[in-house]
Amino acid sequence: MIVPWRVGSRVLPCGARPLVMGVVNVTPDSFYAGSRHADPGAAAAVALRLVAEGADIIDIGGESSRPPVYGEARVVPAAVERQRVEPVVRAVRQQSSVAISVDTTKAEVAQAALDAGAEIVNDISACRADPAMAAAVARAGAAVILMHMRGTPQTMQQDTHYEDLLGEVEAFLRDRIAHSLAAGIPQECIAVDPGLGFGKSVAGNLALLAGLERLAGLGRPVVVGASRKSFIWKTLETGPEEALAGSLAAAVISVLHGAHVLRVHDVAATRHAVRFADAVQRCALAAAGGGGEGT
C-alpha cells in the first residue's frame, strides 16, 4: 500500500519501493567510527557519495545519541550543533536535489537546517525535548519523523522492561502524532520510527523488528534505523565494524514486515538487499493473487 509522505515540495511514495536514508554524522563521537565526519567539507563529500550510491534521503546530524554501551553521549550546545550541521546541509543542497533530513532535537538547529535547504526534521524525542520544535516544523511546512524513546540517550538503557512493548510503542507514537497535528503539522508530513536501540533490550529490539506490521495501523510511513546498532552485533557476538551482514539482514526483515524507509550507514549494499527483498515480496503477493509469472 502506498503511503504518501509530503516532504517539502515533493511527495515520496512510501510503499512503491523501500526508500534508503543515508546517515551522515558531523560528530567526533557517533557510535560507528565509519560515520564520524568532524569536518563539514568531508561530511558533505560523504553525503554526495551516498547520493551517488542511491540514497533517497540524506540524514545529517551534529550530536551523537549513542547509548551508554559506547560511552555516554555528549550533550552539544545548539550553537555548536548548528555550526556542524548548517554548512553541510547548505553544501549538499547546492549540489543535489536529494531530500535532506536534519537529525536534531533542538528547534534552533532544525530551523537553521530548514533555512539552508533541509525538508525533514528527524527528532528522536518526537518533539518532546524542545517545546518549540513542533511549531517550528509546522511553520516551515517541513516533514517530521517521530521516534519512540524512553528517557534520554543518557538514561534510556536504565529501564528496558515493558509489559507490552509493541503496544506501548504504538500508543506513544499515536500520542505524538496527535500532538504534532495539534501543533499544525499536516498528517501527510508525519512519519514514525519505533526507535530501535533507544531504551530497548536486545530481545526487545528483535521483537520490534518482528512486529513492525503493527505500526502500519498508524497510517504513516514507518522509518527503521537498525544499521550497525549494538543489538545486532551483540546478537552476532562481533562489533559495529563487523555488523554489516547483520544490518543487511535487519533491513531485509524490516522491509518484509512493512518498513517504508531504512536509515543506514551502508547505502549501496542496503539498496541492493532491500530491492531484492521487495521483489520477492511483490512476486509472492502477485502469486497469491493469481498474477504469478515465470521468467
d(CA 224, CA 249): 13
Angstrom distance (rounded) from CA 133 to CA 117: 17
Contact 159, 151 (CB under 8 A): yes
Which residue of the set 66, 90, 93, 229 is catalytic?
229
Of the residues 93, 220, 263, 271, only one is catalytic, namely 263
Phi-psi region of 36 (alpha: psi -120 to 50; beta: other; left: phi over 0): beta
Identify the burial level of 128 via C-beta atoms within 10 angstroms of its C-beta, where 0-12 means exposed, 13-18 middle and 19 or more buried. middle
Q: Which cell numbers in the block locate residue 24? A: 551522515
Active site residue 106: no
> Is-catalytic flag, 150?
no
Helix boundaries (H) for the chain: 40-52, 78-95, 107-116, 133-140, 165-182, 202-210, 230-236, 244-256, 267-288
Q: CB neighbours of 26 closer than 8 A, spacing ≥ 6? A: 37, 38, 40, 43, 60, 61, 62, 84, 85, 88
List the catalytic residues: 229, 263
